[in-house]
Amino acid sequence: MKIVRTDCELELPGVDRRLREMGATLVLLPETTGADALARELSDAHLLLMCYAQIPAAAIDGAARLRGIVKYGVGIDAIDIEAAMRKRIPVVNVPEYAEETVAEGAIALMLALARKFKPIEREMDIHGWAWPTQRWLGADLSGKTLGLVGVGRIGASVARMAGQGFRMRVVGFDPYVDAEAMARRGVAKRDDLHAMLAESDVVSVHSVLSPGTRHMLGERELACMKRSALLVNVSRGAIVDEQALVAALTHGRIGGAALDVYSREPLAKAGHPLAPLYAMDNVILWPHLTFYTAEAMQRLEDETLERAREMLDGRPVLVKSRDPRLRAQRAGVRFAD
């Protein structure tokens, strides 16, 4: 039994140990593995575990023994789902392991932006103290309007924390969630994205990445935001037109941004389109780690192993996600209601 796990930079010691104890030959590949090398390893593999690596149709088509693909994480945009469906290879993700964790991360980034943590910490590192001058004047979250782009599991958790915890007024744009469901989550539904952006003091992105959401927040949308507004993205980098964001920040069209995700990862201080953001005091760059806590990683490892065992045993794999791309599968899956 051969199992391939890509993105081995993300350590899963419990998963790796248990799979080897089950007698599997485990092949660990870095995220930078090329398409040809990936295809060669998958050609005789029984199971693929992946996180960020691109899984193209060619690699899936050549995988003669593959029983399933487990995304140990949430987003599935890197997998050619249609190619997997053509070969009746089930695909599953782990959508619930870090809902509260990532929501907490989004709130932490909002606070860090509003209270100017980055420049104040730098001042403390250089001079040892910062006096209460206008340069360091922060802003309250309480009483402000939070606009959610996407009100799914994580967006709903952010709404609860922001509304109940910080007494923020929460509004949301999500074509797939009706007004009644949003109201139960403490969110006032907005049908016009541009109007919602215009009324928000903080905009937090929680959509899945799909062809319809790629660059959903572009130059026009950023121009709708208040000049003082803050943008937080802990979802997927490509939902935001990143070059439009760099321009908006460079010219002071929005108040600041906190990013945990990027179209091109890893980020780098040189040779990367987003490199200019490192020098901006009103920008916080986080290395795609809002999900990374001991508790969340234990949940991720446990469920990854559960889904892997189902596939290796030939049982229908449990799909918990509501993503229509996964719900369209008909072979080797069962759905959680």
Point out the residues that are catalytic: 236, 265, 288
Q: How many residues does the chain have?
A: 337
| C-alpha to C-alpha distance for 58 and 36, rounded to whole angstroms | 9
- d(C-alpha 131, C-alpha 151), whole Å: 40
Q: Which residues are within 8 A (CB) of 129 and not within 5 positions of it... i.e. 6 or more apart?
A: 123
Structure tokens belonging to residue 332: 């080797």
Contact 53, 33 (CB under 8 A): yes
Sheet (strand 69-71) strand order: 25-28, 2-5, 47-50, 69-71, 91-93
Rounded CA separation 65/47 (Å): 8
